[in-house]
């Protein structure tokens, strides 16, 4: 693609950024739709985040995604924030408005729930969430928005789960990591938001005997696509949803805003992103 003076330019800021699949993902959609534009990986160190943001705005970028370790810093740097960014306390999508404002949004909760919806309609009810990092926070926002009556939050470091629960009120109850087996009774959804099960990490050590076979099991880990958790859940008859779709769907709102086309998550896109 030869860029023109009218090209729409966006990118992803991370440190490091080399592992990010976002350039491949957005690049696919740019090609698919024949868009005059580009999406660029931007290695930005934490100390230079604000300087880089101002520079990109001055250079006429339409916006940027932000990934680790910048999501909280981006939250503080934006002039306006959408409701999910405020609830999650982090920003993953920034748009430079024509009038000069820097708008921050968080599309992780949207991406999480869209991914589940592509496979199955979650009826609400009690959900079990493993992990209490940034991803867990976005997942709690999504679950509350989609009709959770109770979220059982389980994290190795209990204090971190308590801090998250404190921000959301009584809908979240905190369980000890050692009680992760017992917390599953009558749950309609179980999500792993820890890094356990990822290539190079130990598997998530969890028995699913107490989980109803009607429950949905989702892992946000997508490398490998079929984690030990998902294999175990599938074998006992649960509906399983892998983690790749969350990454793909969270990218849709930013792409539409910056490039003016609503993109689709297709099987071909999944294959293309996994090939990287």
Sites of contact with ligand ATR (CB under 6 A):
131-136, 155-157, 160, 193-196
Cα separation of 263 and 20, whole Å? 19
Cα separation of 88 and 67, whole Å? 14
Closest to ligand ATR by CB, 177 vs 260, is 177
Q: How far is the CB of 6 from ligand ATR (least distance, A)?
A: 37
Is 178 an active-site residue? no
Cα separation of 77 and 144, whole Å? 27
Q: How far is the CB of 160 from ligand ATR (least distance, A)?
A: 4
Q: How far is the CB of 192 from ligand ATR (least distance, A)?
A: 9
Q: Which residue is nearest to ligand ATR (CB)?
A: 133
Q: Token digits for 275?
A: 């090939």
Side-chain-side CA neighbours of 141 within 13 Å: the count stands at 23
Closest to ligand ATR by CB, 19 vs 97, is 19
> How many Cβ atoms from other residues are within 10 Å of residue 139's Cβ?
28
Active-site entry in 6, 71, 117, 178: 71
Cα separation of 246 and 273, whole Å? 13
Give whole-number Cα distances, 67 to 22, 24, 98, in Å. 10, 15, 24
Closest to ligand ATR by CB, 17 vs 196, is 196
Residue reference for tokens 């959770």: 148
Closest to ligand ATR by CB, 56 vs 140, is 140
Q: How far is the CB of 23 from ligand ATR (least distance, A)?
A: 20
Active site residues: 71
């Amino acid at each position: 693609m030869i860029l023109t003076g009218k090209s729409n330019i966006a990118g992803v800021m991370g440190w490091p950024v080399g592992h990010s699949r976002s350039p491949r993902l957005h690049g696919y959609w740019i090609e698919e739709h024949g868009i005059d534009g580009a999406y660029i990986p931007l290695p930005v160190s934490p100390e230079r985040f604000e300087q880089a943001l101002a520079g990109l705005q001055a250079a006429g970028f339409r916006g940027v995604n932000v990934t680790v370790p910048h999501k909280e810093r981006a939250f503080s740097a934006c002039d306006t924030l959408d409701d999910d960014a405020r609830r999650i306390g982090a920003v993953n999508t920034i748009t430079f408005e024509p009038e000069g404002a820097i708008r921050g949004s968080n599309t992780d909760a949207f991406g999480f729930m869209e991914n589940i919806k592509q496979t199955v309609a979650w009826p609400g009810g009690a959900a079990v969430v493993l992990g209490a990092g940034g991803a867990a926070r976005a997942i709690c926002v999504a679950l509350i928005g989609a009709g959770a009556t109770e979220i059982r939050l389980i994290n190795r470091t209990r204090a971190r789960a308590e801090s998250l629960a404190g921000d959301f009120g009584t809908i979240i109850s905190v369980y000890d990591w050692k009680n992760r087996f017992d917390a599953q009774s009558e749950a309609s959804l179980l999500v792993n938001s820890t890094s356990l099960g990822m290539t190079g990490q130990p598997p998530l050590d969890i028995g699913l005997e107490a989980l109803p076979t009607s429950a949905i099991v989702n892992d946000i880990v997508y490398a490998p696509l079929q984690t030990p958790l998902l294999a175990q859940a599938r074998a006992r008859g649960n509906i399983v949803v892998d983690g790749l779709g969350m990454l793909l769907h969270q990218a849709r709102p930013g792409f539409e805003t910056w490039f003016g086309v609503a993109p689709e998550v297709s099987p071909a896109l999944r294959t293309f992103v996994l090939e990287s």
